[in-house]
Amino acid sequence: MKAAMKRHESLQELSREHYQALKLVLVVRRAVDSGDLLRIGEAAAACVAAFAAELEPHFQVEERDLLPQLEAAGEAALLQRTRDDHGELRRLAAVLPFADAASLQRFADCLNAHVRFEEREMFPAVERIRTAGEAVR
């Protein structure tokens, strides 16, 4: 069993935000699985609120602070995947106020995959870049 790796201090808040996003995914999945239109509507409203208050600001921090580092380090694939995911999540979020169960599920699936990608691939690359930069100083 792998020991949990402690996240670089500069990424800890973003990781905490990822945890909150995964909790939102769970709310959506439970609502969609229930088939209850009221729960689905409440989950969609929760996603609309979370996107505006939490997810979009989170994306902006990553785009401002992390993506330039990936670009400078030549991590083109990670950079492009992050940009593509953010764009797709923004597109899906734009229709959340009118979402049916399938649209809501697509948003949750995309958000889940994006968080997993960042935690497993993008953040470790940023940590390597930052650790290398700290060693140079």
pLDDT score recorded for residue 120: 95
What the chain holds in terms of domains, given with CATH numbers, is 12-136 (1.20.120)
Sign of the torsion formed by the C-alpha atoms of 68, 70, 72 and 75:
negative
Whether the Cβ atoms of residue 42 and residue 31 lie closer than 8 Å to each other:
yes
Amino acid identity of residue 21, one-letter, is A
pLDDT score recorded for residue 6: 78
pLDDT tens digits in sequence order for the chain, 137 residues long = 444 557 778 788 999 999 999 999 999 999 999 999 999 999 999 999 999 999 999 999 999 999 999 999 999 999 999 999 999 999 999 999 998 999 999 999 999 999 999 999 999 999 999 887 654 44
pLDDT score recorded for residue 5: 56
Whether the Cβ atoms of residue 46 and residue 24 lie closer than 8 Å to each other:
yes
pLDDT score recorded for residue 133: 61
Tell me the C-alpha to C-alpha distance, in Å, between residue 52 and each of 13, 55, 93, 97. 18, 6, 9, 12
The pTM assigned to this predicted structure is 0.90
